[in-house]
Chains A and B, each alone.
Chain A
Amino acid sequence: MPELSYREAVRDALAAAMRKDDDVFIMGEDIAEMGGSMGVTQGMLDEFGAERVRNTPISEIAIVGAGIGAAMQGMRPVVEVMYEDFLTVSMEQIVNQAAKHRYMSGGQLKVPLTIRTQGGAGWSPGAQHAQQVEAWFVHVPGLKVVFASTPTDVRGLLWSAIYDDNPVIFFEHRTLYGLKEDVPEDLEPIAIGQSRVHREGSDVTVVATGRLVHEALKAAEEADSEGVSVEVWDPRTLQPLDLDALVASVKKTNRVVVAHEAITRMGFGAEIAAVVQEQAFDWLDAPIERVGAKFAPLPFAPVMEEYVVPHAADVLEAIKRTVARG
């Protein structure tokens, strides 16, 4: 089994799709010679040429919008929006156009567009380069939303996103790009909407996404040494949500902690808490705990940034709180 970093796994999926299919092409800011601001597309210009690896102007509206237009003609563009923060610039095109063309046309159109983007704190970029904004997009009917946490997952999910006939917002986490693991020899697609249990447990289910999957795994190790058995469940796809698997886990453990790097208030975890109590209220032995960023823009000074975003210790505390409820 080859070892790939998260970064290489993204590249591998892009390249595999582009080798297979002339209708797949990529465009975005600085993705050609420079290989993207995160180095994800390095070397792809040499293999695929400038027609299919397209450097764009700094025009997030046109990058996304041109992707929509090409997708409506049956191509499968993958556009890169350099930072999640810049999705705000293209919000109208994503929400009013990409997500709604199929619906407004009464089913005549489809928009097989993948929008890759990344974010994540931990390197003090300040308030406009590291937000986690996935909650905005799970609120929009017509979009699919993916957030992969490992090299194997990001590779298999990106392939499925490219071949999905709907617009997919594909979140990557900046601090995971260097993470390496052995991946299957041949790319194995992972179905959109399929969750993953990273670690089985019987006392608490931690629902975690992105970087917080790894923080939750650290917290689970700690908890285990104190006699608490933690299940770490990663939805991988936020929309659609693998609800049956979530409910099954909750019915087994009876306690839930939701953990994401995005701001807690009105975050994705709020929806998880709501659906869990709707579907499995009678199985809950304690209130659902939420772990996320404090309600503040991301600050610059490292000590403040460290304070605002959640870490393994925060997940562990939440686990202990829920277990302490008896």
Chain B
Amino acid sequence: MAKVEAKRGLSEERLREFLREMLLIRRFEEKVEERFRAGELPGFLHVAIGQEAVAVGVCQAMEDGDVFASTHRAHGHTLARGTHPNAVMAELYGKLEGCSHGYGGSMHLYDVERGNLGANAVVGGGLPAITGAALAFKLRGEPRVAVAFFGDGATNIGTFHESLNLAQLWQVPAVFVLEDNHWAESTPEIQHSPIRDLSKRAEAFGMKVMKADGQDVEEVHRVAQRALKYARDGKGPVFLHVETERLVGHYIGDPQVYRDKEELHRLQETRDPITLLREKLGISDEEFEADDQEVQEIVEASVEFAKAGTDPKPEDALKNIYA
């Protein structure tokens, strides 16, 4: 056992923390679905069920001072980087106590203090600014890294190509994390990309590529640490290609008419990152349920917090337009 631990480099205790983090995201997202269906949450919501290991593995490898840009599927990244569930849930309820004070919503979660430069509702929209943030770190000689999350769908848009090209050209400390869930909304990868291995797109710019199984949080974390160190050491940007699974629809309420239900069921049975880690650690039902109970209480409390939050005044809409 000790030998395995040494190879892992992570203690069982740390992995248990990861499990709880992933479980927090899962239960949070399930609660979001439930409250959305109950008509309590306005807007358009995308949950990260199935992709928890990417969020936790990468965000736990980041250091204080590192920054990141997220996507429309942002709850997981934001929670994994340490924003309190109360602040995230309050944002989804449109309250002043929310992490974007009610101005952003699900697709625009921010927490600048924790390096969250914003979730973006334009696919690929956040990548150029990550190259720019990394340029600022390089120009100022700061040992910080800027991280961009994006999906396979984003690898077809111009922002992706221009940002990677410039980042590699200028050797800035950025990590581009491709959360490859093989779906661009309802369009499968086979219909949106002529190549199967999307990391070739980064290789075409001469960028360092690292790969990880996105359902194995330990592996994601290990590879993300290497990627962040590589960038932080001034060796240039890294393309971190993570294969993951979207175990739910694109948005809450998506009937997924485009998706093979048997295949989805198979993925839910075999590729759930929480089940996989639980099995790997040999956690008993009792232990798991204790963790689960604790997490569910946190999530329930976040709903209570959010509901008790302060509604913005309508005219607050005219604030925060200019600095």
Residues of A within 8 A of B (CB): 25, 51-52, 54, 56-57, 59, 61-62, 64-75, 77, 92-93, 96-97, 101-112, 141-142, 144, 165-166
Contact = CB atoms under 8 A, between A and B. Distances in A.
28 contacts: A57-B165, A57-B169, A61-B162, A62-B131, A62-B165, A66-B135, A66-B166, A68-B129, A69-B131, A69-B136, A70-B136, A75-B139, A75-B140, A93-B128, A93-B159, A97-B120, A97-B122, A97-B125, A97-B128, A101-B117, A104-B108, A104-B110, A105-B103, A106-B103, A108-B100, A109-B110, A112-B323, A166-B322
B125 A69 contact: no
Given A57-B169, A61-B162, A70 B323 contact: no
Interface string B243-279: 0000000000000000000000000000000000000
B110 A102 contact: no
A77 B140 CA distance: 13
Contacts of A67: 132
B104 interface: yes
Given A61-B162, A106-B110, A66 B129 contact: yes
B9 interface: no
Contacts, number: 143
B323 A66 contact: no
A65 B163 contact: yes
Interface in B175-215: none
A95 B149 CA distance: 21
B127 interface: yes
A262 B319 CA distance: 31
Question: Which of A51, A73, A112, A141 gathers most chain B CB within 10 Å?
Answer: A73
Interface in B116-150: 117-118, 120, 122, 125-137, 139-140, 146
Contact of B103 (A64, A70, A72, A103): A103
Interface of B: 67, 98, 100-104, 108, 110-113, 117-118, 120, 122, 125-137, 139-140, 146, 158-159, 162-163, 165-166, 169-170, 319-323
Contacts of A69: 117, 128-136, 146
Nearest to A110: B323
B136 A74 contact: yes
A59 B165 contact: yes
A69 to B, nearest CB: 2
Contacts of B169: 57
A108 to B, nearest CB: 4
Contacts of B103: 103-107
Contacts of A62: 128, 131, 159, 162-163, 165-166
Contact of A108 (B110, B127, B137, B321): B110
B263 to A, nearest CB: 34
